[in-house]
Amino acid sequence: MEKEQSQNNPKNISEKEEEVKTSSEQKLENSEPDELAGDGSSQNPSEETKEEEKSPEEKILELEDKLARTFAEMENQRRRFEKEKEDAYEYGGFTFAKEALNLIDNLERSKQILSNDESIKNSESLKKTLEHFDIINKDLISIFSKNNIKPIESLNKKLDPNFHQAMIEIEDDEKEPGTIIQEIQKGFTIKDRLLRPSLVGVAKKRLDKTKKDEENKDNLKEK
């Protein structure tokens, strides 16, 4: 009976629990270094980086490739800069030249208006005025030519989409189809670039009356 009471005594139980705790803590302390060290299956991060490090030869090749790419990019930028500088020097007045062409257009319109005015038609004053307009026009063309701004020759030339813009078609059996027979507005180039296209009228073959009548009949039947 005394043994049973001593075993069931709360003091004895608490002492036993403390002994169990201290023993388990000692086991953990003893086992932590071993667990951290591991059994060799897990590698240290520094060891992994060492394995991933490239050899000196590979590093040299990589640096050479980066240098080559950098020099190539610098060369491309230099060429672009030189091209932009050249274009700015050669074509810097492109917009001004295009606006200045309005002077020639206005002179040509003034000539046409005066020539069609019945009140002064065939008069000496009109002839002198038109002569002065021609002189001014020639002076402007000369100034433009000195600055590499030249008119496009259009009449009796084949239509070239790079320099001409067809506005109308005119029936003409004497000229080959696509030949320019009317110049509505003169075009100009600045050096090797188009400043503005020539507005022109091109020739087309005249249709026979019989063909026209047949086409009209066919259209009526279809309707």
Average pLDDT rounded to a whole number, residues 26-31: 50
Would you give the distance in Å from CA 81 to the centre of its chain? 17
Question: In the structure encoding, which two tokens stand for residue 11, read together?
Answer: 């003091």
Measured CA angle at 112 (ends 110, 116), to 5 deg: 120
Residue 121: what pLDDT?
82
The type of residue at 71 is F
Domain 150-223: homologous superfamily in CATH: Head domain of nucleotide exchange factor GrpE (2.30.22.10)
Which of 144, 154, 153 has its CA nearest to residue 182? 154
Domain ranges of the chain: 85-147, 150-223
pTM beyond cutoff 0.85: no
Segment 102-129, tens digit of pLDDT: 888 999 889 889 988 888 888 888 899 9
Residues β-bridged to residue 158: 179
